[in-house]
């Protein structure tokens, strides 16, 4: 590869507190050679002028589902990576709720090989916390980690058994693995499909109270004070959960928290008359909850914004609401929808980018999410002001279940570099 | 009724009857006015009209039903439509066919009206997006049962002359009840004051935002009421324990002649049926023709459904 130089670009990299117009020099190995306003030039380098655009570290999405193996008709490594790159995402943590479940070493070898052959992005696979995600028996954390598993998650299932959870934390603490919990009490959430309250009552649907989320967070953080391990709450959805998180953080308990861009941008009223693309887990809640989540990011109570990319085919969404599948796609629109929070004055650009780059990288302990000299030149270049309208059929995912069809957004990815190579441009 | 001259609100609006929530006051009044005209017809010896001659009506029932199904059946036939009833309890659904597939299959037979009863809230809305004909909701999950509320309104109007200014209590399993929800919307719309009375575990979250006052005490809730609507305990929808026992429920929430005295002297009693005698209602009270409107509700149900079929079938 030839040396490259990106010129006249506004560089925002929270990992080095940088927000300035300058150049980025990428060496022959695809690493950042120098960056910033003082960055030099070289005559032999290939020059790309990016005047008027913004360069940030490639996004790290901590929660996305790839359909392989078992659900190739919903998404595969190729389509997921195309969607990711079009959205400026260069590192993806993939979920293990495939068929079969990624809960043993041979499955890990399969997906790593398959991902390497078919995907163009950096993939960081998760394995399940318990075998078959059944919540009974922990998986081989040590062996799985040695084969390249980045973290452990039962995805949309929760460890209900408190004794097992304490042992998972106790065991995990010794071998330094990341445990990612989906916080939901099964009994309280039974048969529910949306938030409890007036909307659920009007629609005649079984609602779930935010206590179902809070009660698991409270339990886990109590256990965590006894068995400190690398613990991450996948996605929170309510104001009440933030109160618990705040209290525990001020008591010195160490853990991290994520939120889905959906819960930051939408609320339960968007469900309208049974629009199943808005059936999500955790569910969309009240506007008050949404605003409190934004405050949570401002106050560093929430560390990460994820896409919670869940591709679902039309058939599994074209059902009565209670029967319809849960989730929406979002990896391609993650950045643009997050930028809406900047344009409407909710959050600073620096904060948003932090939650999409260096924060998840730190939690995962990977050398991504930064443009410091020497790091991989995974770069997302976007036009901060460009207006566009989301059209499901134009998205690259194999499934088209976006919750933000026809939404008018401002800010669009122009180019994505992966280890110095242009992997996407439009 | 406020107006006796012909109102035609329904003509310019969507052709489905999915719920009271989607109705305007004018539309509701138009249905009630139309229904009134059918009461006499139904009591006469010659009951057949040809308003819907040549039209095909399919009753698609995913849940067992006696009165609603037979009521729609008769209503269609009396208007001259060809009526077919499909009970989906033992049909393609068991073979794994989705609601949409069933709808498309039926749609290919060119029906003019589909009357649907489904256990999932929102199923009629989904159906209405996929077929070319009129869809009438005959009860979906715990969301709405619009024709029940309309027949309740007609029954009240028939006895009390008007709904505006009345105080109506709805008692029992509000949580699982589509009848309660549709009645809350309709009675509010027609100017009544609505109280709901239920044990806390059977009271839906956020109910106060629907424009009612909620009570857990029959004495307070029934105070000054003109109409007492009792609801059936929907044991089939209850998952897990909501109540200690039927005995305890009857003690505090079952309607007895003594508890009825908390309401106005001339208060009337209604029940959408089927009744659990001795659980939510005293058996003698249920049969007392001086206070119970239960039979009249069933009778006027046919008239209301005739009106809906006529007005919505284009």
Contact, B168 vs B195, CB < 8 A?
yes
Give the residue from A190, A201, A317 with the most B CB atoms within 10 Å of its CB, the best one to mutate.
Answer: A201
Query: Who among A199, A274, A318 is closest to B100 (CB)?
Result: A318
Sorting pLDDT into bands at 50, 70 and 90, what band is B8? low
Catalytic residue among A27, A220, A303, A308: A308
Q: Cβ of B205 and A207 within 8 Å?
A: yes
Q: Are A219 and A227 in contact (CB under 8 A)?
A: no
What is the average pLDDT score of chain A? 96
Check CB contact of B63 with chain A, cutoff 8 Å.
Answer: no
pLDDT band, very low/low/confident/very high, at B3 (cuts 50, 70, 90): very low
Average pLDDT over every residue of A268-276: 95
A289 noted as active-site residue: no
pLDDT at site B240: 74
Using CA atoms, how far apart are residues B181 and B108, in angstroms rounded to an integer? 33
Q: Is B28:B20 a contact under the CB 8 Å cutoff?
A: yes
Annotated domain spans of chain A:
4-55+377-385+407-425, 58-364
Q: What is the dihedral of CA A252, A366, A152, A353, to 10 degrees?
A: 70
CA distance A370 to A32: 10
What is d(CA A174, CA A171) in angstroms, rounded to the nearest whole number? 6
Mean pLDDT on B253-265: 96
pLDDT of res. B314: 75
Architecture of domain A58-364: Alpha-Beta Barrel (3.20)
Q: Which of A415, A417, A399, A384 is nearest to A12 (CA)?
A: A384
Q: Yes or no: say if A197 and A207 are a contact pair by the CB < 8 Å rule.
A: yes
Among the partner-chain residues B121, B126, B205, the one whose CB lies closest to the CB of A204 is B121
Q: Would you call B275 helix, strand, or coil by DSSP?
A: coil
pLDDT interval class at B94 (50, 70, 90) = low
User: Which of the two residues, A73 and A2, has the higher pLDDT score?
Assistant: A73
Judge whether A4-55+377-385+407-425 and A58-364 match in fold: no
Contact between residue B155 and residue B292 where contact means Cβ atoms under 8 Å apart: no
pLDDT at B7: 55
pLDDT at A119 over 80: yes
Question: Between the CA of residue B13 and those of A70, A203, B17, B28, B272, what are the distances in Å?
Answer: 46, 21, 10, 12, 28
**Average pLDDT of the residues in A382-398:** 97
Mean of the pLDDT values across residues B194-222? 97
- The three-state secondary structure class of B229 is strand
Q: The whole model's pTM is what?
A: 0.93
Mutate to test the interface with A, among B204, B237, B242 (most CBs of A within 10 A): B204
Given this model, what pLDDT does residue B103 score?
Answer: 87
pLDDT in tens, B20-72: 999 999 999 999 999 999 999 999 999 999 999 999 999 999 998 999 999 99
Q: Is the pLDDT of residue A379 over 90?
A: yes
- With beta carbons less than 8 A apart as the criterion, state whether B159 and B122 touch: no
Query: CATH second-level architecture of A4-55+377-385+407-425?
Result: Roll (2.30)
Is the interface score ipTM higher than 0.95?
no
Tokens matching residue A376? 């991989």
Q: End-to-end CA distance of chain B, in Å?
A: 25
Chain A nearest C-alpha distance from B129 (Å): 11
Residue of chain A minimizing CA distance to B185: A202
CA A313, A314, A316, A321 torsion-angle sign: positive
**A237-261 confidence digits (pLDDT tens):** 999 999 999 999 999 999 999 999 9
Percent of chain B with pLDDT over 70: 94
A25-56 pLDDT per residue, tens? 999 999 999 999 988 777 788 999 999 999 99
pLDDT tens across A185-213, in order? 999 999 999 999 999 999 999 999 999 99
Q: How confident is the model at residue B1 (pLDDT cuts 50, 70, 90)?
A: very low
Residues in chain B within 8 Å Cβ distance of A273? 122, 125
Inter-chain residue contact A198 with B118, CB threshold 8 Å:
no
User: Does residue B7 contact residue B33 with C-beta atoms inside 8 Å?
Assistant: yes
Confidence of residue B92 (pLDDT cuts 50, 70, 90): low
Cβ-Cβ contacts under 8 Å for B289 (sequence gap 6 or more): B295
Does B126 sit within 8 Å of A318, measured CB to CB?
yes
Separation of alpha carbons A289 and A285, rounded Å: 6
Give the C-alpha separation, A327 to A324, whole Å.
10
Nearest by CB to A198, from B125, B178, B206: name it.
B206
Question: How near does any CA of chain A get to the CA of B127, in Å?
Answer: 9
List alpha helices for A157-210, DSSP H.
162-175, 186-189, 198-203
Write the pLDDT tens digit of every residue in A61-115: 999 999 999 999 999 999 999 999 999 999 999 999 999 999 999 999 999 999 9
Q: Distance (Å, rounded) from C-alpha A20 to C-alpha A417?
A: 19
pLDDT at B14 over 70: no
């Amino acid at each position: 590869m030839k040396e490259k130089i990106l010129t006249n670009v506004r560089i925002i990299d929270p990992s080095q507190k940088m927000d300035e117009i300058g150049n980025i020099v990428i060496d022959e190995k695809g690493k950042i050679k120098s960056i910033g306003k003082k960055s030099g030039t070289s005559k032999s380098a290939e020059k790309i002028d990016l005047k008027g655009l913004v360069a940030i570290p490639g996004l790290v999405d901590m929660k996305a589902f790839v359909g392989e193996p078992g659900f190739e008709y919903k998404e595969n490594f190729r389509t997921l990576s195309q969607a990711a790159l079009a959205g400026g995402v260069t590192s993806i943590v993939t979920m293990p709720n495939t068929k079969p479940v990624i809960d043993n070493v041979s499955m890990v070898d399969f997906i790593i090989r398959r991902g390497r052959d078919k995907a163009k992005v950096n993939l960081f696979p998760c394995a399940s916390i318990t075998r078959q995600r059944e919540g009974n028996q922990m998986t081989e954390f040590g062996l799985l980690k040695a084969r390249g598993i980045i973290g452990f998650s039962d995805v949309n299932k929760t460890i209900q058994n408190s004794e097992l959870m304490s042992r998972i934390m106790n065991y995990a603490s010794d071998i330094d693995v990341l445990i990612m919990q989906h916080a939901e009490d099964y009994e309280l959430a039974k048969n529910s499909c949306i938030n409890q309250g007036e909307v659920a009552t009007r629609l005649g649907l079984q609602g779930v109270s935010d206590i179902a989320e809070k009660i698991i967070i409270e339990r886990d953080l109590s256990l965590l004070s006894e068995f400190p391990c690398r613990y991450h709450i996948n996605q929170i959805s309510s104001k009440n959960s933030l109160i618990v998180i705040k209290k525990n953080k001020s008591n010195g308990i160490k853990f991290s928290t994520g939120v889905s861009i959906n819960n930051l941008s939408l609320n339960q009223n968007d469900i309208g008359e049974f629009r199943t693309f808005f059936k999500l887990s955790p569910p969309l809640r009240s506007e008050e909850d949404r605003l409190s989540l934004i405050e949570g990011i401002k106050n560093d109570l929430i560390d990460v914004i994820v896409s919670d990319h869940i591709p679902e085919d039309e058939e599994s969404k074209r059902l009565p609401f209670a029967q319809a599948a849960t989730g929406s796609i979002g990896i391609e629109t993650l950045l643009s929808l997050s930028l809406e929070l900047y344009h409407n004055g909710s959050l600073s650009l620096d904060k948003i980018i932090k939650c999409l780059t260096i924060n998840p990288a730190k939690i995962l302990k990977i050398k991504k999410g930064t443009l410091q000299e020497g790091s991989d030149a995974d770069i997302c270049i976007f036009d901060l002001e460009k207006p566009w309208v989301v059209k499901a059929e134009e998205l690259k995912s194999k499934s088209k279940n976006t919750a933000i069809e026809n939404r008018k957004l401002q800010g669009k990815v122009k180019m994505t570099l992966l280890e110095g190579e242009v992997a996407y441009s439009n | 009724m406020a107006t006796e001259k012909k109102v035609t609100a329904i003509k310019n609006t969507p052709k489905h009857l999915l719920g009271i929530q989607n109705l305007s006051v004018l539309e509701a009044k138009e249905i009630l006015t139309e229904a009134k005209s059918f009461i006499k017809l139904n009591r006469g010896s010659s009951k057949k009209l040809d308003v819907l001659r040549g039209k095909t009506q399919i009753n698609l029932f995913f849940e067992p039903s006696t009165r609603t199904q037979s009521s729609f059946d008769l209503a269609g036939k009396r208007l001259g439509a060809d009526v077919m009833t499909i009970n989906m309890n033992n049909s393609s659904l068991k073979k794994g066919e989705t609601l949409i597939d069933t709808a498309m299959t039926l749609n290919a037979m060119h029906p003019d009206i589909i009357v649907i009863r489904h256990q999932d809230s929102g199923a009629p809305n989904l159906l209405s997006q996929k077929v070319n004909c009129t869809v009438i909701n005959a009860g979906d999950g715990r969301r709405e049962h619009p024709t029940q509320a309309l027949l309740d309104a007609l029954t009240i109007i028939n006895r009390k002359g008007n709904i505006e200014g009345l105080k109506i209590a709805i008692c029992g399993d509000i949580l699982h009840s589509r009848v309660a929800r549709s009645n809350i919307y309709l009675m509010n719309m027609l100017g009544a004051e609505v109280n709901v009375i239920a044990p806390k575990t059977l009271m839906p979250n956020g109910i106060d935002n629907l424009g009612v006052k909620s009570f857990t005490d029959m004495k307070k809730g029934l105070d000054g009421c003109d109409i007492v609507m009792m609801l059936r305990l929907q044991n089939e929808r209850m998952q897990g324990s909501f109540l200690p026992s039927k005995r305890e429920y009857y003690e505090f929430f079952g309607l007895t002649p003594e508890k009825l005295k908390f309401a106005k002297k001339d208060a009337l009693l209604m029940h959408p049926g089927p009744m659990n005698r001795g659980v939510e209602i005293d058996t003698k009270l249920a049969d007392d023709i001086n206070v119970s409107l239960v039979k009249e509700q069933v009778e006027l149900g046919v008239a209301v459904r005739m009106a809906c079929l006529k007005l919505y079938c284009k």
